[in-house]
Structure 1
Amino acid sequence: MDGMQVALPVLGIVAVAALTFYAVSFAEIREKSLRDLDDYEDENGGGFKSSLSSRERRARRKAEKDSKP
């Protein structure tokens, strides 16, 4: 058996193992950062406001307008 016939599959396995390790590590880092972001938004009331606020403003203006004689 030639040394190249053994070395090539071993190098391939090592390369695939390294790629798998980095892919799993980056996926875990991404999940953790998203969980941290969600926790931060929950604690600080973050996130986007819905369009309900503009509806509330219109309703408030209409109520003020209707209450004036």
Structure 2
Amino acid sequence: MIKNRIREYRAKYHMSQEELAQKVGVRRETIGNLENGRYNPSLVLAWNIAKQFQVSIEEMFTVENDLS
């Protein structure tokens, strides 16, 4: 499972889902689905989101193995 810190960074930068979506070229619903764990981003989208907040992909996204 991929966890992310998108909501946290949006709040830090006072950015709405719509604003982030426009900046990275997706729909607002995509950002909402990412934040709620219902969608895993492509590598390009993950890169663009991390770049928007000037952090590494590893800072924005982490992979958690579910071994159960």
By percentage of residues, which structure has more helix? 1
Instruction: Give TM-score, length-normalised by structure 2.
Output: 0.20
TM-score w.r.t. structure 1 length? Answer: 0.20
* Structure with the larger RCO, 1 or 2 (CA within 8 Å, 6+ apart): 2
Which protein has the larger Cα radius of gyration, Structure 1 or Structure 2? 1
Q: Which has the higher strand share?
A: 2
